[in-house]
């Protein structure tokens, strides 16, 4: 039987005891009803994992780790998803599924046509929520490294930081080039996918992207929803490049 896996929010070491944070303690003991002595697997997002035992001391829960296991399930290359901020809770779905598919980083973009406008305390709370989703998704799918969530920014600001060794694929429904074409002619180990929000990219955003030598691509003749497009492209790149 597969042991329960959990993200632990502090650096772990082998053969050591660590106090379980209150929110995780509630989940382990009240939701899953694990008793003292239960065997679990924990990871801290820095690579590898630790088999551990749940123990109880003075009405508090601890874990006792055993040997570090250098197990990794990352893709053979890096995939960054630059995602135009969608409405409602669609970003939750995108982060969860992009984590499962193996993406390395997600960059939320406050695009011209983004319906959601986040800032201040509301933005901070949303990021904390997204981090929890990424942690839970990593625990579920067997990843021992957490997906990176970049700060919310404009597309123009992000383009200024793009690296020359990244293959930039700009998802656009009017593109004439299939996603497979630039992948055929590249030996890159780093791909950046650009997906607009529900209303698509504005003209000035498309113009800014084209100045940075992006490849405008489409994936079939259908127009995907924003919460579908990036995930489909991640899966396509993984399959076409054999990055499983």
101-110 pLDDT tens trace: 999 999 999 9
Q: What is the pLDDT of residues 26-53, one digit of tens each?
A: 999 989 999 999 999 999 999 999 999 9
Same fold, 5-65 and 78-240: no
Per-state percent for the chain, helix, strand, coil, to nearest 5: 30, 25, 45
Residue 220's pLDDT is 87
Taking each continuous run of H as one helix and of E as one strand, the counts in the chain are: 7, 12
Map out the domains of the chain as residue ranges.
5-65, 78-240
Measured CA to CA, the distance from residue 171 to residue 224 in angstroms comes to 10
CATH 3.50.50.60 fits 5-65, yes or no: no
Fold classification of 78-240 is Alpha/beta knot (3.40.1280)
Q: In which residue are the tokens 């497979």 written?
A: 180
Q: Which two tokens stand for residue 65?
A: 């780790």
Q: Over range 144-155, report the average pLDDT.
A: 97
Q: What is the pLDDT of residues 208-235, one digit of tens each?
A: 999 998 999 999 888 899 999 999 999 9
Per-residue pLDDT band at 173 (split at 50, 70, 90) = confident
Query: Is 213 within 8 Å of 192 (Cβ atoms)?
Result: no
**Which has the closest alpha carbon to 186: 73, 77, 102, 75?**
77
Count of beta carbons in the 10 Å neighbourhood of residue 124: 11
Evaluate if residue 163 carries a pLDDT over 70: yes
**CA separation for the pair 42, 68 (Å, rounded):** 10
> CB burial class (10 A; 0-12, 13-18, 19+) of residue 23?
exposed
Q: What is the pLDDT at residue 1?
A: 64
Question: β-strands 215-218, 60-65: how paired?
Answer: unpaired
């Amino acid at each position: 039987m597969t042991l329960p896996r959990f993200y632990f929010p502090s650096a772990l070491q082998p053969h050591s005891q660590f106090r379980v944070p209150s929110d995780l303690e509630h989940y382990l003991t009240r939701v899953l009803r694990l008793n003292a002595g239960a065997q679990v697997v924990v990871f801290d997002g820095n690579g590898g994992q630790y088999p551990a035992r749940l123990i109880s001391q003075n009405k508090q829960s601890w874990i006792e780790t055993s040997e570090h296991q250098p197990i990794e399930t990352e893709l053979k290359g890096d995939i960054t998803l630059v995602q135009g901020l969608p409405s409602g809770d669609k970003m939750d779905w995108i982060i969860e599924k992009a984590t499962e598919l193996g993406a390395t980083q997600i960059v939320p973009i406050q695009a011209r046509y983004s319906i959601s406008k986040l800032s201040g305390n509301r933005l901070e709370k949303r990021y904390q929520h997204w981090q929890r989703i990424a942690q839970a998704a990593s625990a579920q799918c067997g990843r021992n490294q957490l997906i990176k969530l970049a700060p919310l920014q404009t597309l123009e600001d992000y383009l200024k930081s793009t690296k020359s060794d990244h293959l930039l694929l700009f998802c656009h429904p009017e593109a004439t080039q299939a996603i497979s074409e630039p992948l055929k002619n590249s030996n890159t180990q780093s791909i950046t996918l650009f997906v607009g929000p529900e209303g698509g990219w504005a003209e000035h955003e498309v113009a800014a992207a084209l100045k940075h030598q992006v490849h405008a691509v489409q994936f079939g003749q259908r127009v995907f929803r924003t919460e579908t497009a990036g995930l489909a492209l991640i899966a396509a790149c993984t399959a076409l490049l054999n990055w499983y």
